[in-house]
Amino acid sequence: MTKPLLQIALDALSLEKGAADAKQAESVVDIIEVGTILAFAEGMKAISTLRALHPNHIIVCDLKTTDGGAILAKMAFEAGADWLTVSAAAHPATKAACKKVADEFNAAHPELKVKKEIQIEIYGNWTLDDAKDWVELGVTQAIYHRSRDAELAGKGWTAEDVELMKKLSDLGIELSITGGIVPEDIHLFKEIKNAKAFIAGRALVGEKGQQTAEAIRAEINKYW
Amino acid sequence: MTKPLLQIALDALSLEKGAADAKQAESVVDIIEVGTILAFAEGMKAISTLRALHPNHIIVCDLKTTDGGAILAKMAFEAGADWLTVSAAAHPATKAACKKVADEFNAAHPELKVKKEIQIEIYGNWTLDDAKDWVELGVTQAIYHRSRDAELAGKGWTAEDVELMKKLSDLGIELSITGGIVPEDIHLFKEIKNAKAFIAGRALVGEKGQQTAEAIRAEINKYW
């Protein structure tokens, strides 16, 4: 059981704003994520720019890849992403294509300190049998979240969420947890053995960002 | 029953190539789609550029929106997209957020010849009850496809695909059909009343593109 990492999701509408947010947060986070909004606004330039600016952080490219897996994975990894999100709703062939690109990249670059990996982002109707298929494919990471829109609609974390996370964790899947995470939420997940990272966006940006990051770290240190 | 339109999906890795492909195909297609690959490679600049170059075509932005619906829909429509794809796997709140942005845009711009619309792109586990929810929300379009990766893995169109399309069509949903469409496939879909468009990518690009487009049109004219 390792200590969960802290990840900032950059959801700015422009690379200028995203890069500034990342610069401000770099000393308090382990992972910098080019969120879906920033990635779709600016394209792969967002990845390559953040990669260049933050050579020692893990960079996540949050495309929620749903199709065209081989091409998108190649594009994201070549731009400098370490981890790429793949939608749970993608066809199994898409997940396999992304995994294959990551494996080939790792084999060609044994010097990589951080291996290229895919993260299954859990959306849509899914079952634990699906999750077993991901493990079978060699996937080791998934992202569990409240959808941003569900969050905006006022949906909170439920006991059912935590139960599902425990079951995924028990399958050996490392979980990144996201969806309006604030320090007061961290204790909810203390029973998740394989908690890989907590992801926050707006909470880590702006004046109070550093303070919030420290508060989340303190909670993490309490429970892991 | 209207005649299905013809749509080119631009899946180039760069805007230069995508814009050139669109230029070559513009006289033979009704709809120009900035495909997921191009959109993720270049960001919203791909939409605004294609919009500027093709003011009289319908422009589709294929983000397969999975979260952050309100922001992504605003971004895509403001960049000039007429229609935006939304993943069937997205939370209902995400679909509703995208629909709301489209409706508000249309209300604010009664002069629009082509209304802003969302298209549910069918991915993941779904049921006809889900489809009824989409209709309930006011969605009128969906995209039915073989996934690109499934196609690459050799999976063909099945009788089950056609049956599901008929059921969706009977719910009043207009269907765009995609996945390696070639002229010889068109007859498979002749019983789909609400066939809105056939989408092809690579088949419409390059030397033989025009010829292929004409062959697809001829097949469409035979059956609709």
SS in 3 state form for chain B?
CCCCEEEEEECCCCHHHHHHHHHHHCCCCCEEEECHHHHHHHCHHHHHHHHHHCCCCEEEEEEEECCCHHHHHHHHHHHCCCEEEEECCCCHHHHHHHHHHHHHHHHHCCCCCCCCEEEEECCCECCHHHHHHHHHCCCCEEEEECCHHHHHCCCCCCHHHHHHHHHHHHCCCEEEEECCCCHHHHHHHCCCCCEEEEEECHHHCCCCHHHHHHHHHHHHHHHC
Identify the closest residue of chain B to A15 by CA–CA distance: B43
Contact between B1 and B195 under an 8 Å Cβ cutoff? The reply is: no
Q: Indicate the burial class of B107 (C-beta count within 10 angstroms; 0-12, 13-18, 19 or more).
A: exposed
Task: Note whether A148 contacts B75, CB cutoff 8 Å.
Answer: no
Closest CA of chain A from B12, distance in Å:
10
Q: How confident is the model at residue A1 (pLDDT cuts 50, 70, 90)?
A: low
Interface test mutation site (partner B, options A72, A143, A147, max chain B beta carbons within 10 A): A147
Q: A61-80 pLDDT, tens per residue?
A: 999 999 999 999 999 999 99
Residue A148's pLDDT is 66
Interval B45-61 mean pLDDT: 98
- Give the per-residue pLDDT at A2: 85
Q: What's residue B148's pLDDT? A: 66
Q: Which residues contact B165 (CB under 8 A, 6 or more apart)?
A: B144, B175, B177, B189, B192
CA distance A122 to chain B (A): 9
> Are B37 and A125 inside 8 Å of each other by CB?
no
**ipTM value:** 0.93
The Cα of A80 is separated from the nearest Cα of chain B by a number of Å equal to 13
Chain B residues inside the 8 Å CB shell of A10: none
Judged against a pLDDT cut of 70, whether residue A147 lies above it is answered with no
Please list, in sequence order, all residues whose beta carbon lies within 8 angstroms of the beta carbon of residue B10, skipping any fewer than 6 positions away.
B18, B21, B22, B32, B33, B34, B35, B38, B46, B50, B201
Domain spans, chain B:
5-223
The shortest CB-CB distance from A40 to any of B72, B123, B148 is to: B72
Q: Searching chain A, which residue's CA lies closest to the CA of residue B42?
A: A43
pLDDT at position B56? 97
User: Which CATH number is B5-223 given?
Assistant: 3.20.20.70
A13 contacts on B by Cβ (under 8 Å)? 71, 75
Residues of A in contact with B43 (CB under 8 A): 39-43, 45-46
pLDDT in tens, A13-60: 999 999 999 999 999 999 999 999 999 999 999 999 999 999 999 999
| pLDDT greater than 90 at residue B224 | yes
pLDDT tens digits for range B136-190: 999 999 999 886 676 777 778 888 899 999 999 999 999 999 988 989 999 999 9
